[in-house]
Amino acid sequence: MAGDNDTEKLRRFFVEKINKPTTVLTGNEKKHLADVLRAKVGDKIILCPNDGKDYIFEISAFDKNSITLYYEEEFVNPTETNLFLTVFPALLKGDKTELVVQKLTELGVKRISPFISEFTVQKSEKNDRLKRTAHEASKQCGRAIIPEIDDVMKFNDMINKLADYDAVVFAYEDAFTNGNRITDVVKGNERNVALIVGPEGGFSKKEVEEFINRGYKPVTLGKRILRAETASISATAVIMQLCGEWS
């Protein structure tokens, strides 16, 4: 039965595409399944072609370079949100951006678009590494979609993208007295929400003005100054809750 306890325990593999009734796995997925997990004929696995559905297949044969799988059933993965939340986190030092990508993937974010701004210390990040992190986190938490990870963009390119969203949460640490609360911006019925979080040093005055000139009022995340990674993760959880995606 779709989504029952047995199905939840099955191993999940993201693949480019599936074929019915038989799909053949080669390369790394074949190696992982055969050599690391020591799977056997008759074992069941879940294939995810990144379309929001889980496809159950049974292993029917092993060859030197491939594994043949037989289709059993499919169902819409219940973990995916209806909300399309994109987080724009400024690049952070060391492994922090990776941590952010891992946690936002677990929380159900659909797209992560890292950017660099005036006070960003870390000026580049390997996109492959972030994609791998998102892939692993999606597998671990049972998602059927790996969030899209954009190439690192400049502040101006990031801000130009915000017009595409129903609601924009521009998190600004100095907004406690005069700014918006998240609930002023996110009402709960939006389908496309953007969250923007600055780097360790925050946003420059010029950048804050740029947001305001475009109509994006700063939003506070409370009285205390949060680390950038805490801000991304906690604001994501709050937005998910407000949009009915926390249960």
Under the rule (CB under 6 A), what is the footprint of ligand SAM? 171-173, 175, 197-198, 200-203, 220-222, 224-228, 231
Nearer of residues 155 and 203 to ligand SAM, judged by Cβ: 203
d(CA 234, CA 224): 13
Nearer of residues 120 and 138 to ligand SAM, judged by Cβ: 120
* Among 90, 78, 94, 138, residue whose Cα is nearest residue 114: 90
The answer to whether the beta carbons of residues 182 and 243 sit under 8 Å apart is no
Nearer of residues 49 and 202 to ligand SAM, judged by Cβ: 202
Please state the closest distance from residue 114 (CB atom) to ligand SAM, in A: 13
* Among 217, 219, 235, 239, residue whose Cα is nearest residue 227: 235
Nearer of residues 9 and 223 to ligand SAM, judged by Cβ: 223
Nearer of residues 114 and 142 to ligand SAM, judged by Cβ: 114
Residues ≥6 apart with Cβ < 8 Å to 208: 172, 218
Please state the closest distance from residue 37 (CB atom) to ligand SAM, in A: 40
Please state the closest distance from residue 29 (CB atom) to ligand SAM, in A: 38
Nearer of residues 48 and 221 to ligand SAM, judged by Cβ: 221
Please state the closest distance from residue 238 (CB atom) to ligand SAM, in A: 11
The answer to whether the beta carbons of residues 196 and 231 sit under 8 Å apart is no
Residues ≥6 apart with Cβ < 8 Å to 210: 155, 159
Please state the closest distance from residue 176 (CB atom) to ligand SAM, in A: 6
The answer to whether the beta carbons of residues 45 and 67 sit under 8 Å apart is no
The answer to whether the beta carbons of residues 96 and 125 sit under 8 Å apart is no
Please state the closest distance from residue 228 (CB atom) to ligand SAM, in A: 4
d(CA 97, CA 105): 12
